[in-house]
Amino acid sequence: MTDGPVHEFQIGQSKTRHGLVIAALGILVGLATLVLGDESVADSRWIGALLVALGIAVGVHAWRTGRSSGAHLRMDSAGVTFREWGATVPWSEIADVYQSGSRLQPFITLRIADPERLMASLSEEEARRLKRNRLWKKPELRIPYSAVEASRDEVLAAIQNGMTDREPPVA
């Protein structure tokens, strides 16, 4: 993709909403346990306080990760950068892109031509983050459909266009 267009996608707002709903439910159940729990239920105050604290933690995490501070998924001349991967995958390393997963957990999947070569091309920090990432299943790198505020067809088309505009894969 030589100086081609830049495609940027923001984080999916449904992901943030789901996190905030889960946080609110945790806080409500925790408060109900604190208020309605009595001495006949052992440790009801501790359980209620723990649920409130966990609800607040989930809410803060959902709010922090859901703010729009730059693109969540970016495609440019360097390759594909997905914030949750913590790395940029060069176009030359992508052999194929397709839809995968199940109805409950659908993905856009990038099949990496040579996973070892990709890891060697990344910085030490990027390689370590990617190696531990739940979305990396050699030789596949995944993007959850709900991660960005765009249709899967739009994201898939942008990646496929980037692959056709790139230089030929390295042999």
Q: pLDDT-derived band of residue 111, with 50, 70 and 90 as boundaries? A: very high
Q: What is the DSSP string of 16-61?
A: HHHHHHHHHHHHHHHHHHHHH--TTSTTHHHHHHHHHHHHHHHHHH
Quick: pLDDT tens for 54-93.
Answer: 999 999 988 877 666 667 788 888 888 888 888 888 988 9
User: What are the backbone angles phi and psi of residue 168, rounded to the nearest 5°?
Assistant: -60, 150
| pLDDT score of 171 more than 60 | no
* One-letter amino acid for residue 23 of the chain: A
Question: Which structural domain range is residue 24 located in?
Answer: 12-66
Domain termination residue (choose one: 66, 82, 103): 66
87 and 142 belong to one structural domain: yes
What is the structure's pLDDT at 88?
Answer: 87
- Residues 147-170 have a mean pLDDT of 74
107 φψ region: left (φ > 0), alpha (ψ -120 to 50), beta (else): beta
Domain termination residue (choose one: 22, 38, 66): 66
41 and 100 belong to one structural domain: no
In a domain, 82, yes or no: yes
92 and 52 belong to one structural domain: no
DSSP letter (8 states) at residue 170: P
60 and 81 belong to one structural domain: no
Q: What is the DSSP string of 92-148?
A: GGEEEEEEEE-SSSEEEEEEES-HHHHHHHS-HHHHHHHHT-TTEETTEEEEEGGGB
HSE of 101, CA atoms in CB hemisphere, 13 A: 21
82 and 160 belong to one structural domain: yes
Give the count of domains, the chain.
2
In a domain, 7, yes or no: no
CA-CA-CA-CA torsion for 153, 80, 145, 102, nearest 10 degrees?
Answer: 100
Q: pLDDT-derived band of residue 168, with 50, 70 and 90 as boundaries? A: low
- Residues 97-117 have a mean pLDDT of 88
78 and 159 belong to one structural domain: yes
Q: What is the pTM of this model?
A: 0.64
In a domain, 99, yes or no: yes
CA distance 120 to 6: 25
26 and 81 belong to one structural domain: no
Residue 88, C-beta contacts closer than 8 angstroms, at least 6 positions apart: 78, 79, 80, 81, 126
In a domain, 110, yes or no: yes
